Amino acid sequence: MPQKYDEASRPIGVFDSGVGGLTVVKELNKLLPNEKIVYFGDTGRVPYGNKSRETIIHYSLQVAYFLMKKKIKMLVVACNTASSVSLPTLKRHFHIPIIGVIEPGAKTAIETTKTGKIGVIGTLGTVRSNSYKKALKKIKKNVNVLQDPCPLFVHLAEDGWNKNKIAQMVSDEYLKIFEGKGIDTLILGCTHYPLLKDVIQRSVGKKVQLIDSGKETAKEVEQILSKKSLLNPYKMTEKNHSVFYVSDFPHKFKEVSQRFLSKELKHVHKVIL
């Protein structure tokens, strides 16, 4: 097998603090159906959103070392909190393409906004890090950014309460801070939030465009792999499939993943890092 083919047939590593990163996997599967994924969900230590910087970096490095041993060709940090905090450290440690979800989301938001007023919702960690604000201002200096942490959304999504009236009430309460502020674009800056898209849209009104970072990240993965001639030339088969690792509760992960991917995952394993 030519060396380049060998490299291209390796999996893409994807990690998240839990199941939320599956929203990115869903987009990757849609756009790049030939790509094998090795996923790690840190279900034993979720949430990352309320942990300190040092702890998030420590966890991210541990997970990345684990995925590197699986001979991945690229790493996608499919967690907004870990992307906000750990990306520079990960890039210093490993020499394969590594991307997070912040920059792709920010780029699309700038392309979308007409008023130059953008809202960002995410975990406490993401909002405190100002990662979206910095990424947005790096592209366009005079953009106006209004941020709001919505920590309860993660639990609502995990428990499947993403479309009921409780979800709508929570969403209305969180998002009323955007009322009358003139934002026309709202970044869903947390991997879980696309599951609450309908209620969020109702809270902010139809005129506000919602940006799903997962979708944009998948597009960026395709661009990078294609530029480096690393798109998998082989089709996926029964033997040659994506694999999912978690640090705890594989059964719960399987159950919740149905909600995220609308299909059952067969290959879920528990590992202790």
Distance CA 240, CA 147 (A): 42
**# residues contacting ligand DGL (CB under 6 A):** 16
What string marks each residue from 108 to 147 as x (binds ligand DGL by CB under 6 A) or -?
---------------x--x---------------------
Work out which of 39, 192, 245, 249 binds ligand DGL, going by CB under 6 A. 192
CB of 157 to ligand DGL, least distance (A): 9
Distance CA 38, CA 67 (A): 7
Work out which of 22, 87, 154, 256 binds ligand DGL, going by CB under 6 A. 154
Nearest partner of 129 among 87, 95, 81, 70, judged by Cα: 81
Region of 66-74, 161-169, 186-194, 246-254 interacting with ligand DGL (CB under 6 A) = 186-194
Nearer to ligand DGL, 11 or 20 (CB): 20
Work out which of 43, 60, 113, 191 binds ligand DGL, going by CB under 6 A. 191
Nearest partner of 19 among 252, 264, 217, judged by Cα: 252
Tell me if the bond preceding 47 is cis, omega within 30° of 0: yes
Nearer to ligand DGL, 10 or 107 (CB): 107
Instruction: Give SS3 for 245.
Output: strand
Distance CA 35, CA 47 (A): 28
CB of 140 to ligand DGL, least distance (A): 24
Helical spans, DSSP H, in the chain? 3-8, 22-31, 53-68, 80-93, 102-112, 124-129, 131-139, 152-158, 165-175, 197-204, 213-227, 250-261
Interface residue list for ligand DGL (CB under 6 A) = 16-17, 20, 46-49, 79-81, 123, 126, 154, 190-192
